[in-house]
Amino acid sequence: MKPRLVLLVLMALMCPALVQAHLGSPDVFYDGMVGSWPTHITIRMPTVVPGRAEIIIQVQSREPVAVSFVPISARTAVSNAPPAELAEPVRGETNLFTGGLWLMTTGAYSIEVRIHGQSGEGTVQIPVNSVATAQLPLPPWLGKILVALGLILFCGAMAIVAGAAGESTLPPGVLPGKTEHRKYWIATIITGVVCGLAFGWPGIVWGLGVATTLAAEPDAGRRAAYIQSVDDFTALLGRGVLHPGIWAASKLAFVRLRERGSVVEKLDVLLK
């Protein structure tokens, strides 16, 4: 190796330059030319999907321009892309625009930014990745509304099946007799049991798994920590964040059992 080359390598290693990077940030930045305009673009990705991405565009020119953008999904043909949305200019700023786009699915996207001015037009496609990085809590009022709607659907399903079993075969104008009433109530009970098991079965399986794990743990300290973690989890379920059937079944199968006495002794009896 030539001495001059070695000297250049050593000087480069001894004089590092300060650089900046966005490590761990889901946001996307573009700094380059869009047509004949130097442009800085910032795309703040949503933390949930579907979510609204915030786009900030700074055109470094005093020429009046119009800015629009459109999301193009990798799963959708370009011809089926939604119409472009116009960016809104920021008051008091020169050629600073902002706007938002809805990303409806996860996966790869291209945000196409278009600039139109007296000098012509320019387009750039910025690749982004739509992924959920957070979970929004369910408002309590919305959880109550969903529970009420679920009960209405539950009762409606039983009524439809019961009516079909008891009255669907009767001729017009004939009132149902004892046989039809018996079919009606049998269908109602069977439908209620099937729907109840379908709704609460995940919670029953989870509760039995908790009971098995707790009964097999000999250390009292670990049992206490496990009980606390399960209590925290069931509290989370109780706020309507996850499956309400798991919450109801786990409360019946585990929390009340723990409150009445020794968990391990009672679980040993249940598991036997």
Enumerate the CATH 2.60.40.10 domain ranges in the chain, comma separated.
Answer: 24-130
Q: Is the bond into 50 cis (omega within 30 degrees of 0)?
A: yes
**Residue in 128, 116, 130, 63 with CA at minimum distance from that of residue 87:** 116
Q: Which residue has the higher pLDDT, 180 or 124?
A: 124
How high is the pLDDT of residue 23?
Answer: 59
How high is the pLDDT of residue 185?
Answer: 87
Please determine, for residue 18, whether its predicted confidence score (pLDDT) is greater than 50: yes
Can you tell me whether residue 35 is helix, strand or coil?
Answer: coil
Q: Model confidence at 15, in pLDDT bands (50, 70, 90)?
A: low
Render pLDDT for 128-184 as a digit per residue (tens, 0 to 9).
998 888 877 777 788 788 878 888 888 888 888 888 887 877 788 778 888 888 888
How high is the pLDDT of residue 132?
Answer: 85
- What is d(CA 127, CA 195) in angstroms, rounded to the nearest whole number? 45
- Residue carrying the six token digits 């786990």: 250
- Average the pLDDT over each of 14-18, 95-99, 209-213 and give the range with the smallest value: 14-18
Instruction: Identify the H or E element spanning 68.
Output: strand 65-73
Residue 230 exposure: Cα atoms within 13 Å on the Cβ side? 26
How high is the pLDDT of residue 52?
Answer: 92
Please state which architecture CATH assigns to domain 24-130.
Sandwich (2.60)
How high is the pLDDT of residue 124?
Answer: 94
How far are the Cα atoms of 77, 94, 125, 217 from residue 91, in angstroms, in the given order?
36, 8, 26, 64
Instruction: Identify the H or E element spanning 28.
Output: strand 28-34
Residue 201, both tokens: 């079965």
Q: Model confidence at 13, in pLDDT bands (50, 70, 90)?
A: low
How high is the pLDDT of residue 240?
Answer: 43
How high is the pLDDT of residue 111?
Answer: 93
Q: Model confidence at 259, in pLDDT bands (50, 70, 90)?
A: very low
Any idea how long the chain is?
272
Q: Where are the beta strands (DSSP E) in 84-195?
A: 85-86, 88-89, 96-103, 107-117, 120-130
How high is the pLDDT of residue 224?
Answer: 67
How high is the pLDDT of residue 271?
Answer: 41
pTM: 0.53
Q: Which residue has the higher pLDDT, 48 or 6?
A: 48
Q: Which residue has the higher pLDDT, 118 or 175?
A: 118
Residue 198, both tokens: 């379908």
CB of 42 closer than 8 Å to CB of 97: no
Please determine, for residue 255, whether its predicted confidence score (pLDDT) is greater than 70: no
Please determine, for residue 100, whether its predicted confidence score (pLDDT) is greater than 50: yes
